[in-house]
Amino acid sequence: MMTKFLFFSGKGGVGKTSLSSATAVMLANRGLKTLLVTTDPASNLGDVFHQSVGLLATPVAGVDNLFIQEIDSVESLRLYKERALAPLRELFPDDVVRSIEEKMSGPCTEEIATFDQFIDCMHRPEYDYVIFDTAPTGHTLRLLELPGSWSAHIEMSAEGTGQTCIGGVEALTASKEQYDQAVQALRDGECTQFVFVTRPDRIAIEEMMRSSQELQRLGMNKQMTIVNGVIPEEDRAHPYAARRWTVQSKYIAQIQSMFTGRIVEMPLYPDDVIGLGKIEEVGRDLDHVLAV
């Protein structure tokens, strides 16, 4: 089976980590080998599973077939610089290497280093599913928009001096071919699905629609939306919940009128989604609506 990719994105606090974790556990429990990757520098994935998350895929205790990993821009920048500088240390004096290192500290280097790690996660044929729990929207799009500029750097360096904007291309572990394959996979609806998590409120919806359009512009068209935190039907008779439901239903109708992909709803739970028992419960609810 070809690896499938799911990208969870959305505004801060809407439930990306909860729902991506629940999806990952649900798939792993079906016997599918699953990797859950967080690209959020302030991720709480570790808290959700009560274990630490590192730069390498680690098995989740208590769930067969599930692995978690993080893409850490600071750490990937460090590793990336080290790979680029190691050969230079043998050739040049310390002060020269230090000055090269300083030149490598721009935002461009950090983005490319992070993207290099991201490409690596797009090439894990040993997994059936790779699920990305991404940072709030803006950051994710920056990561996905990189292909264009990254490609330009590689092409320039292939023609010219062998230099990208940050140093020798040999510091990149991802090859041009791997990169092209990743971009192709992102645009292939058979491989990749973008899952927008939103709440039935105005700001979350606006942000979701903005990123949906951005992704369409990049040719990434297989999209769905999960409206998270919907007041369950049996509770709508309660006066407090009824008022909330009136507002929610208005926004749900708005999403239905604007978003062209599949739209599903997830209920508001009485408790936070923390710990394996709770995640599995949410995973069972998701199994009914997600169709993955």
Ligand X SMILES: Nc1ncnc2c1ncn2[C@@H]1O[C@H](COP(=O)(O)OP(=O)(O)OP(=O)(O)O)[C@@H](O)[C@H]1O
18 near Mg ion (CB under 5 A): no
Smallest distance, Mg ion to C-beta of residue 40, A: 5
Binding segment toward Mg ion, per CB under 5 A, in 15-23, 110-118, 220-228, 255-263: 15-23
- What gap in Å lies between CA 127 and CA 268, rounded to an integer? 31
Binding segment toward Mg ion, per CB under 5 A, in 2-10, 11-19, 51-59, 227-235: 11-19
Region of 286 on the Ramachandran plot (φ > 0 left; ψ -120 to 50 alpha; else beta):
alpha
Among 9, 17, 117, 198, binds Mg ion (CB under 5 A): 17
**By Cβ distance, which residue is nearest to Mg ion?**
17
Closer to Mg ion at the Cβ: 140 or 164? 140
- What gap in Å lies between CA 20 and CA 273, rounded to an integer? 11
Catalogue the E-assigned strands of the chain. Answer: 4-9, 34-38, 58-59, 66-70, 129-133, 163-164, 167-168, 192-198, 223-230, 262-267
Smallest distance, ligand X to C-beta of residue 199, A: 9
Closer to ligand X at the Cβ: 115 or 132? 132
Among 39, 223, 228, 248, binds ligand X (CB under 6 A): 228
- What gap in Å lies between CA 240 and CA 251, rounded to an integer? 18
137 near Mg ion (CB under 5 A): no
**Nearest Cα to 122, choosing from 56, 58, 174?**
174
**Nearest Cα to 197, choosing from 131, 247, 241, 144?**
131
166 near ligand X (CB under 6 A): no
Listed in sequence order, the DSSP H helices in 189-275 are 202-217, 239-258
Interface positions, 227-266, toward Mg ion (CB under 5 A) = none
273 near ligand X (CB under 6 A): yes
Binding segment toward ligand X, per CB under 6 A, in 13-21, 79-87, 116-124, 149-157: 13-21
- What gap in Å lies between CA 135 and CA 44, rounded to an integer? 11
Closer to Mg ion at the Cβ: 40 or 128? 40
Binding segment toward Mg ion, per CB under 5 A, in 12-20, 170-178, 265-273, 280-288: 12-20
Interface positions, 34-63, toward ligand X (CB under 6 A) = 40, 44
Q: Is 79 exposed, middle or buried (0-12, 13-18, 19+ CB in 10 A)?
A: middle
Residues at the interface with Mg ion (CB under 5 A): 16-17
Residues at the interface with ligand X (CB under 6 A): 10, 12-18, 40, 44, 136, 228-229, 266, 268-269, 272-274
